Amino acid sequence: MKKKPEKLYDLKELRIIAESDELFFHEMISLFISQNETAMQEIRNFIDAGNFAKVKAILHKMKPSLMVMGVCSIVEIIQQLEKLELSPANEPLFLNLLKNLEEILLVVNSQFRMI
């Protein structure tokens, strides 16, 4: 028997905000997916341009919606990235953390599409 994948989110906060309005609840999930797909594309573009400060700014903007959606693992990664000094020595770690963030976000978005 195939094991059900672990949920990487907790929508309790969104449920409180939605106050039983299922349409609003589902619209917020769709908006979350759309905004974060756009943000990740912008992040990839800024990485290609070597503009890590802009990457950090986008990540900072993503944090509130990730917190409302209960995606704590990504919030933790963003906090690590925000603390990381922007230097050539830290670039491999920065990029690795971003890769982990993107992989988790892809799974979260996939799980949200099944709601």
Residues with Cβ within 8 Å of 31's Cβ and at least 6 positions away in sequence, in order, are none
Work out the pLDDT band at 75, boundaries 50, 70, 90.
very high
Work out the pLDDT band at 4, boundaries 50, 70, 90.
low
- Residue pLDDT, tens place only, 76-91: 999 999 999 988 899 9
**How do the domains of the chain map onto residue ranges?**
12-113
Tell me the three state secondary structure of residue 61: helix
pTM of this prediction exceeds 0.85: yes
Each residue of 55-71: b (16+ CB within 10 Å) or e? bbeebeebeebbebbbb
Cα(97)–Cα(95) distance, integer angstroms: 5
Mean pLDDT of 39-58: 94
For 60, the enclosing helix (H) or strand (E) is helix 52-68
Q: Give the pLDDT of residue 87.
A: 87
